[in-house]
Amino acid sequence: MTNNDNLTTRHDAVMLECQAAGSDWRVLPAFLPVPGLGGLAVNAFLLKGTEPVLVDTGLATLGDAFLEALEAEIDLDDLRWIWLSHTDADHIGNLARILERAPRARVVTNFLGMGKMGMLGHDLSRVQLLAPGARLELGDRRLVPLRPPYYDAPETLGFFDTRSGTCFAADSFGALLPEAATPLEGVDADALRDGLVAWSSIDAPWLATADREVLGRTLSSLRRLAPTTLLSGHLPVACQGVERLTALVHDAWCAGPSTGIAPDSLEAVAVALG
Ligand SMILES: [Fe+2]
Ligand SMILES: [Fe+2]
């Protein structure tokens, strides 16, 4: 078997058991093997209560298992909101199927997210457009939209839940890990650091050229928010984990010498072509 065969060998994602994510939220976790690199958590989140919210909709390849797990948690007739972090395939995979089964649910996104949904053929009549500065009011709490420290799609919407102090950071803080694990506290420190650096390099390569001071201030602002629980689409749930995770990102991208010039950067291409 060649290296290339190794990289293209198909490994199927698996749905894991639904669990608590801090005080108020539930996580619907999946694990997606990445051949040669371990694997990646692919999480959706659910808030029950008077106005239930589903955050993201999982992988289409896990459609039946995802819907089964979701319907074991909530009657979809009761679902009111689907908060769409962004329109990547690993976040929007089961949106159409859930909308069919959840007649009262509306999709919360911003202008660009709505545009991308339209291009993917989704029903825009179900969109609740969040204007800049708007919040989602849920009666007992509000979800305050925020742009996470790094992301791979400009429509990305994280949030801070004002009642539970939960922060959803979308793709930020994702990490390739050797195996499915939860909670985060059980993950080996070196494996977490290496996996977080590896995934952020792949998912947000612009971090290598980002303004380090600005990124550092963004991470400090997140620490000031002091979330009780940090939810990432691609990491086991982190309770009280904000200091540890922001320090890892800071060490990787805000401190020390530059990580070097990527071979496909314009700088490198211009040098190579003389
Ligand atoms: Fe993404
Ligand atoms: Fe993602």
- Could you give the number of structural domains in the chain? 1
Nearest ligand, CA of residue 152? Answer: 1
* pLDDT above 80 for 2: no
What confidence tens digit (pLDDT) does each residue in 49-58 have?
A: 889 999 999 9
Helix axes 189-203, 242-253, angle to 10 degrees: 60
pTM over 0.85: yes
What confidence tens digit (pLDDT) does each residue in 154-191 have?
A: 999 999 999 999 999 999 999 999 988 777 888 899 99
Domain CATH number, residue 16:
3.60.15.10
Cα–Cα dist 89/138, whole Å:
27
Q: How far is the CA of 274 from the centre of ligand 2 (A)?
A: 37
* pLDDT above 50 for 7: no
Q: How far is the CA of 271 from the centre of ligand 1 (A)?
A: 31
> Virtual CA dihedral for 145, 96, 180, 248, nearest 10 degrees?
-20
Q: How far is the CA of 56 from the centre of ligand 2 (A)?
A: 10
Could you tell me if 113 and 86 are in contact, meaning their C-beta atoms sit under 8 angstroms apart? Answer: yes
What secondary structure letter does DSSP report for 264?
A: T
Specify the pLDDT at position 260. 63
Rounded to a whole number of angstroms, the CA Rg of the chain reads 19
Specify the pLDDT at position 257. 57
Nearest ligand, CA of residue 91? Answer: 2
98-105: average pLDDT: 97
Domain carrying residue 87: 3-272
Specify the pLDDT at position 273. 87
Q: How far is the CA of 201 from the centre of ligand 2 (A)?
A: 13
Cα–Cα dist 118/106, whole Å:
15
Nearest ligand, CA of residue 90? Answer: 2
